[in-house]
Amino acid sequence: MNADLFSPISVGKLTLSNRMVMAPMTRNRANQNNAPHTLNIEYYQQRATAGLIITEASQVSPEGVGYPATPGIYSKEQVDGWRGVTHAVHAEGGHIFIQLWYCGRISHPDMLPDKQIPVAPSALQPKGDAITFTGPQPFVTPRALETDEIPTIVAQYKHAAEMAKKAGFDGIEIHSANGYLIDQFLRDGTNQRTDQYGDSAENRMRFLNEILDTVCEVWPNTRVGLRLSPENSFNTMSDSDPQTHFAYFVSQLQPRNLAYLHVLEGDMMTKQRRVDYRALRGSFKGIYIANNGYDKTRAQNALTKGDCDLVAFGVPFLANPDLVYRYQNDLLLNEPDTDTFYGGDTHGYTDYPFAEHSTAEATH
């Protein structure tokens, strides 16, 4: 394989203009009803030259919320807000998937309806603090989901998938990474169940399989992507054998013919990589998106070696709305302002400058 970062690629029936994916990034700038609004439309439209945009994670229900001012995809207002985003991105010739999530134990009663206790596969308290509207508060011990409660959450994913279609998205990504509810079921450090949703790798994958089954009743398989993070310790996550377990999960995904597999390679916290991602990628015959700390040089090397088909960039796209143009022309990148990553207004969100003469600048 000798793919170029700027060459087109087919993902199902979609043709992406380049191999650069804008990674999902929580920005905490939805309105008081957790709906996208004018500011969010501008943000995504500015970055529409990405081959594919994957939106910030968007909760599938009020019970799935984990952070302040994150968008959902379950109400009419949210659908209307997202429709403005998808229309703007499509007007620029871009493609956009929405990432669906349910935070599970990475939440707090202050963030949930009727101050309910967050749920998880097992009643294991994560370390650290939840981010709430009144500031950081220690995580609470979650309530283990009853077996007969799980179908309700699966149904919420189906509803969110239906709403995403109404909002005009090109597809959906199931967020099964970074310590949120699906990941909590997949990894044995957080799943100590003894019923059909726990113990073996096969059982721990059952929740994800049920979600994939139901959303693929709404969307063609080739419009459904999946994100995994085999060894990321963020949100107090661990697994006894991520190489073996995630090799199994990926092998079970292969027959589904999904749009892509999006993998956060390594540990965001320690920066270490113990899993053999080349082997993991080699066992998946579909489109593979590599993610975690890639720059232009590393991305092109990975593509050239056949280690991936697309590369997701997070902070570089956050700080450079015209990242594709800058990489094409070997231009310097804007310096990201970490103080404005989460929450706030236009500052550090839509006011990063475009490079002179960039295509994106000419259209805005």
**Residues belonging to the active site:** 180
Beta strand 310-313 pairing with 288-291: parallel
Please give the backbone phi and psi of residue 263, each rounded to the nearest 5 degrees, phi first: -120, 125
| 12 residue type, one letter | G
3-state DSSP call for residue 59?
A: strand
CA atoms within 13 A on the CB side of 261: 27
d(CA 243, CA 230): 8
Contacts 24+ apart (CB under 8 A), 37-42: 37/81, 37/84, 38/84, 39/345, 39/346, 39/349, 39/350, 40/71, 40/81, 40/85, 41/84, 41/85, 41/88, 42/88, 42/350
3-state DSSP call for residue 317?
A: helix
Strand intervals (E) in the chain: 9-11, 14-16, 20-22, 52-54, 58-59, 96-101, 119-120, 129-132, 135-138, 143-144, 171-176, 224-228, 260-264, 288-291, 310-313
Contact of 56 with 99, CB cutoff 8 Å: yes
Cα–Cα separations (whole angstroms), residue 282 to 191, 221, 240, 311: 27, 21, 22, 16
